[in-house]
Amino acid sequence: MDDSSKSRPGWLERLSTLLLREPEDRKELVDLLHSAFERNLLDAEALGMIEGVLSVSELTVRDVMVSRSLMDVVRHDETVEKLLPFVIETGHSRFPVIGDDKDDVQGILLAKDLLRYFHQPATFKLADILRQAVFVPESKPLNLLLRDFRTMRNHMAIVVDEYGGVAGLVTIEDVIEQIVGDIEDEYDNDDSADNIIPVRGQRYRVKALTEIADFNHYFDTGFADNDVDTIGGLVISLFGHLPKRGETVQSDDLRFTVIRTDGRRLHTLLVERLQSQDQPLTP
C-alpha cells in the first residue's frame, strides 16, 4: 500500500506538530495559533475561543461587570403585583434585592421563584424566597471568578469596590461570553422590530447591529451612514476605540452607554435622550 493511501493526520496532530517548539511567552503562543489558523489547522471560531480563554486570565471583574448605574434591582418592600411587570419587562432571571439604596444588597431574587405566587399573591413574602448574595472585589481575576461560580454553583455576584460600596454586578454569562462571544437567548432574537426597545422614560435598549437609517427614523436623528452602517459602528467611531461595558459617549442630545460587549464587538447599547425630557419619543 503506497503512502497516498495512508490516512492523513488529524487537525490535533497537525496542530501539535506546529506547537512542538515551546513558545517563549504569550505573544509567541498567540502568533503560533494565528499561524495554525492561516494553515487551516484551526477555524476562525476555534481561534477566537482560544484567544478568549487566554484573555480571561488577563481580565478582572471590573472589565466585564454591569456598572452600578445599569443594575436592574428590586426593593425589599415591593409587592408581587409590582414586581411581575418589572421582571417581565427586563427579562432577567436574577435580580439583586436592595434596602434603602444599592449599597444595601439583602439577597438575590430568582424570577422563577415568583411562579408559585401567580395564583396566591396574598401569600407573597419577598424575604422568604431570597437567595444569599455573593460579593466579589472589582480586582478579582475572571478565571478565578469562573472557578468560584462553578464550585459554588452560583450564577451572579455583587461587585464591591475598595471601600465596600457596590460597584456593579457580574454573572457567569458575562465571563463565558469573553470566551465564546455573545450568548443569545429568547430575548436576543434577530427580529429587526425588536432592535429598539423602550425601557422607561427616555431610555431605550438598542442592538448595536441596528442600521443607522432605522435608528435615524426612530429617533428623528441625522447620523450619516457613509462610513459605517450600524449604530454600533457609529458608537465605536465616537469613542475612537472599542469601549468596555459601562462606558458612555454623547452625541448631540443623545447619550450612548455600552450595556453588552464581548470584548471583540458591541452587542447592546442604552440610549438616553438628554433634551426634551417632557416629550416621549415615538418611532
Name all domains of the chain by residue range, CATH numbers in brackets.
62-180 (3.10.580.10), 196-273 (3.30.465.10)
Calpha distance 268→283 (Å, rounded)? 19
Under-50 pLDDT residues of the chain: 1, 4-5, 186-191, 277-283
Residue whose C-alpha cell reads 460597584 in the numeric block? 167
Cell of 126: 419577598
Query: What pLDDT does 189 receive?
Result: 46
* Residues 68/166, Cβ–Cβ less than 8 Å: yes
Query: What pLDDT does 13 receive?
Result: 63
Query: What pLDDT does 10 receive?
Result: 63
pTM of structure: 0.59
For residue 135, give the nearest of 96, 99, 90 by alpha carbon: 96
pLDDT in tens, 206-238: 888 899 999 999 999 999 888 888 999 999 999
* Residues 244/170, Cβ–Cβ less than 8 Å: no
* Residues 148/40, Cβ–Cβ less than 8 Å: no
Query: What pLDDT does 278 receive?
Result: 45
pLDDT in tens, 242-279: 888 778 999 888 999 888 776 667 888 889 888 654 44
Query: What pLDDT does 21 receive?
Result: 58
